[in-house]
Amino acid sequence: MKGTVLITGGAGFIGSHVASELIRAGYHVRVLDSLVTQVHGETPGRPGYLHPDAEFMLGDVRNPEILDEALSGIDAVYHLVALVGVGQSMYQIAEYTSVNNWGTALLLERLMKHRVNKLVVASSMSVYGEGLYVTPSGQPYEHASRTVRQLKARQWDMRTPDGLPLHPAPTPETKQPSLASVYALSKYDQEQMCLMVGRAYGVPTVAVRFFNAYGPHQSLSNPYTGVLAIFGSRLLNGKRPIIFEDGQQLRDFVSVYDVARACRLALEADEAQDQVFNVGSGDKVTIEEVAYKLAKVLGKRLEPEITGNYRVGDIRHCYPDMTLTERVLGYKPEVTLEAGMSDLAEWLERQTAQDRFGEMQHELASRGLVV
């Protein structure tokens, strides 16, 4: 046995896959999860997909007594607890701040008492806001943004203030953050708080910035989860995927199996201490293209509906530069988008999905967050 690892949020989509990856590698895994209704349903219990050898604790990361119990005898911690949803974070501000920010602060306070050998915290591509761009002359341009006036005029693509077109480029970890939502702010707070306290107390700490993870066990009834799960939920219910803007937004979709492996490598690589790493596939694809691909593997002849609307907090293009992650962690993605989507489709076809996209759309539109 290599040691005992605690995963906060370990019954969730990514956490459960990290648990399986670590158990296969010889670790003992303890999972702490509150099983929130939006992800796990009205009468949640231990998820059937959670590895049978994982020790499960039901509890909230904001409860110090629960944290003391969960941290007893632990050698390393993965802090994956977070409410996720760019749009939802813009109106459930207090709840997102409570879980993501305050929950992290309480965990770090308890780690002063329960010292561990390593802390790995899950961050997000959302901290970048817009990804890196280059000017027509090839110069990096980090501060690309679109005004409300541009968005209302459906001018989707980025330009410099003097009108020159900007072209997207792979985004490195060194890019200055640009926080476009409360969710993004909370994720940046999580990663920086962990790195800061880790340095102060001598706890080796690593932050991993996940790009668009997808795969089995993602909640299909949570309309604020990953876009492939949302598309899958609609397709399974015979409805067209809904796409904002013009569908040409560029993203990186990474298999959850690769994400889990990157998380294990972040724990095991000694030289990873006090650093931040992108975790993606290294390939970019448009949102429209990925909607067509998923419909095809599911055997659904449903074209996406491109609305021409935008959501407050959404960004245009962002995909990762994987150079640092490959060099320091020794990580290289192994699952292609085609293989990963075929695997996802096999799992989706065995699921019953409640399509709640309309509810999400109403919640955002009623607050002026979809235009």
CA distance 285 to 261: 22
Residue 179 Rama label (left phi>0; alpha psi -120 to 50; beta):
beta
Assess contact for 111 and 118: CB atoms under 8 A.
no
φ, ψ at 194 (rounded to 5°): -65, -45
DSSP 283-326: --EEHHHHHHHHHHHTT-----EE----BTT--SB--B--HHII
**Residue 222 to residue 361: CA distance in whole angstroms:** 12
Please state, in angstroms and rounded to a whole number, the distance separating the CA atoms of residues 357 and 315.
Answer: 19
CA distance 363 to 212: 23
**Measured distance CA(30)–CA(22) in Å, rounded:** 11
Fill in the amino acid letter for 152.
K
Cα–Cα distances (Å) from 110 to 80, 105, 140, 371, in that order, read 16, 9, 42, 43
Q: What residue spans of the chain are helical by DSSP H? A: 13-24, 37-40, 64-71, 86-89, 93-96, 103-111, 148-152, 182-201, 227-236, 256-268, 287-297, 323-324, 337-348, 357-365
Kindly report the backbone phi and psi dihedral angles of residue 300, in degrees, each rounded to the nearest multiple of 5, phi listed first.
-110, 125
Beta-strand pair 28-33/55-58: parallel
Cα 266 to Cα 298: distance, rounded to the nearest angstrom:
34
What positions carry a catalytic annotation?
Answer: 183
